[in-house]
Structure 1
Amino acid sequence: MARLELKGVRKSYGAAEIIKGIDLAVEDGEFCVFVGPSGCGKSTLLRMIAGLEDITGGTFEIGGRRMNDVAPAKRGVAMVFQSYALYPHLTVRENIAFGLKVRKTPAAEIDRLVNEAVVTLQLDTLTERYPRELSGGQRQRVAIGRAIVGHPETFLFDEPLSNLDAELRVHMRTQISELHARLKRTMIYVTHDQVEAMTLADKIVLLRDGRIEQVGSPEDLYERPANLFAARFIGAPQMNVFELTPGFEKLRTASGLAPETRYCGIRPDSFEITSEADAVMSAKVRLTEYLGNARLVHADVDGHGSIILEQPAGREPAAGTTIHLTTDPQLCHAFNEAGNRLVPAG
């Protein structure tokens, strides 16, 4: 079993506290993604799980066994780094087999494990090539293959796709998802890219400033953000958030927001252009951005500032015009004075 549990885990460098009390369980076979802005502590937390960073306080367990002082090689985890870290003078086969040779694995077993890995990762036609002869995506697959052959219970990925171009990122994202489905092992994946988080994860852990802001499925974080930070971080373009000052009473009333609602969040695709009589607010269009099947409309709302709405291509308003907007009350997100989500009644 590879259930991981962190209980009050902290990390400090001198007086600087980086991880500020993390409580988290990652279930056996789960694909868990750590996401958050730069400096939030996600890579540090991953390295603590791997044993590459000491734990200052709290307890880390794998399968119910305390791991705080267990050497990295004995934790049953394998890590894939942002840099491929391949040996340039070794072939694909030799790179994948290197760790097994260091552990003095019998030659026949090395051949079996490497052959399994190269077939799983579709590298079987590239085994005699050197890293310089491979594309970025192929090199990353070799790095993953090196992790696979040890049959770890848990795979740790530290921003493995950040060095790839956009097309390769999409391709490798699919391959990692398919790999998880085949191996059925626990995977923890660090990224700052919310698209990777939303498409790969069973569970997302959203971090900020060394603390967890929200844990849940991609649907949880997108449809039910726990606070304003989660609401703005998940979703591209980000959610529009309105402070319900006296000028926005029509929005409050039409959306049926509770009296304690201080902020109302509306995603760009939740706006509808309507008549002035039916509108909850008006806005002046600044510019539009063409996305193919849709356009992003940038507009200004008096008493608020800039908003973004998404409209089907061909139905977007022209720059300089005034538009009148409404939204489905079910698509409004309510937050209190402290910025925490208000759960609708019933």
Structure 2
Amino acid sequence: MANSLNFSQSKYAIVGGGLMGRLLAVALARSGAQVELFDKGGADGEHAAARIAAAMLAPLAESAITEDSVVRMGLHSLPRWKELISELSDSVYFQQDGTLILWHRQDASEAERFAAHLEKNCRSNSDLSAPQKLNSDALRDLEPGVADRFTQGMYLPNEGQLDNRQLLNALASELKLLKVNCHWHTEVDPQELRQQSNYKAVIDCRGTGAKESWSSGDKPNTLRGVRGEVVRLYAPEVKLRRPTRLIHPRYPIYIAPKENDIYVVGATEIESDDLSEMSVRSAMELLSAVYTVHSGFAEARILEMATQCRPTLKNNLPEIRVKKEKGLVDLIMINGLYRHGFMIAPAVLDCALQLLAEGSSKTALELGLSMTQNDNQVEAICA
């Protein structure tokens, strides 16, 4: 997408160096733009929600809990991730071997409802690959490590994952190679940057740090944080080949295997901006649930228990806002990627690049990504 757009002789300021900010900075710089990136944290992304994530790319699995527009963005993003990663100088772990869904015998009725929901979504969206039911033999062939504890499962083909921390590091390295002027450990107000006429636009990608900018007099809580908690484990005795989700009425979990026997385990969603350490209850539920999937996790080493808040708008959907004011540089605000940040980031990136280059985005209209100008819905056209 970026390769077909020309941003030469244009200068942009990006505030927020998490996943979205880095992707935009790299794409714009590659296309000839001068880019300045500002972030209150460092190049390692310690304050970014993207650092505390499993980075699963699972549009069909997520279709059970999200809107069709997010599913379409996820489908658009899967092949784009391959392109984006292939263009980076540093390698990033990427896998597209599908998602495995498991459940214990007592939760079979819940699994049936989940499967029916996915099948319905596949009928309404032909781009989704239908889930495949697995008997004990098929499960053993696909994922032998869990066959001693489960006699059936479900396979969602074509879904993927990547290593979020490798990606953040690779993007930081790419910013150096492209000579992007990165102001790490620098907290700035996008409104102040708008007064500098040498920028063509200021792009706000601060996530939950942009709360005040997304609030108005009658809508003070438009942007909120949704707390997520993950455990990173080193488990050499466990050999899961693909992301695995456990259906459970109280604590459903996901297990995302990374390179070198590292596993990211999570599930919790708490309506809170609290960034304190993980609770004992959450830790016990996550670790107990992961042990029921594979006994090898009993001897795993806990590398990290981490928390972060995902930036979430009132409808749990992403949005791009454009603010145009006389005498000020345009402000582009990108936010609300919620729990789907990695799954949909390339789609949001492509829409934002089209908007910056052409003043509108056909891709946003096709995918259903909301765009507004000065708080008015404009059907993805912000000219």
Higher helix share: 2
Larger radius of gyration: 1
Q: Higher relative CO (CA 8 A, sep ≥ 6), structure 1 or 2? A: 2
TM-score computed with the length of structure 1 as normaliser:
0.26
